[in-house]
Amino acid sequence: MIKDTVLQSLRGLFPDPEPVVEEIVTEAAEGDEAEGEKKKPAKKKKEPRNNGVIEHDYAQYGYDIDVQLDPGELLAAVMIIDKAGFFLESVTGVDWIKEEQLEVVYDFSRYDFDTCRVVIRTRTPRAKPKVPTISKIYPGANWHERETHDFFGIKFDGHPHLVPLLLPEDADFHPLLKDFKP
């Protein structure tokens, strides 16, 4: 199963696996509740979700592996994904305004019947959003990253042509930021 091998190699990215694994166990056991806390920290905890790998139930969420990591480790993770033969579905962002963070979400999937959807997330401070580009590994990410830059203003470091794609060429606004006023 490709899922297990990918899980293993992705877990290898986290140098201090012990606390992460623990958290996975608790979160997976608690299911919805834990997910809720993690996504909506305003309710109970103020901290966002810790970095790590979570295995998800496909039927409930629509993807199998959910990885959160630092922008610095992004390229290593994408490299693993690329080696395993995944294709890039999309790149997008989420604006977590209460945590002063922007999240970049990468979706990967596979062409064969060994289905495995991987979601990689990385967070970057809202004031100075910057993540490395993956368009060197996946040229298809070029447009997706440009689109994310359009909508969220996230700078993709090393992107060859980071100009507005869907918005007008002179656009200096980022409509999907939660504090955007048209």
**Where do contacts with another protein occur on this chain (CB under 8 A)?**
32, 35-36, 39-40, 58-63, 66, 85-90, 92, 94-95, 105, 107, 109-113, 115, 117, 119, 138-140, 142-144, 151, 164-168, 175-176
Nearest distance from C-beta of residue 152 to another protein, angstroms: 10
Q: Which is nearer to another protein, 90 or 101 (CB)?
A: 90
In order of 125, 138, 159, the CA distances from 101 in angstroms are 5, 25, 21
Q: Which is nearer to another protein, 39 or 130 (CB)?
A: 39
- Cβ atoms of 92 and 176 within 8 Å: the answer is no
Nearest distance from C-beta of residue 52 to another protein, angstroms: 15
Q: Which is nearer to another protein, 3 or 110 (CB)?
A: 110
Nearest distance from C-beta of residue 6 to another protein, angstroms: 15
Nearest distance from C-beta of residue 15 to another protein, angstroms: 26
Angle between helices 17-30 and 2-11 (to 10 degrees): 130
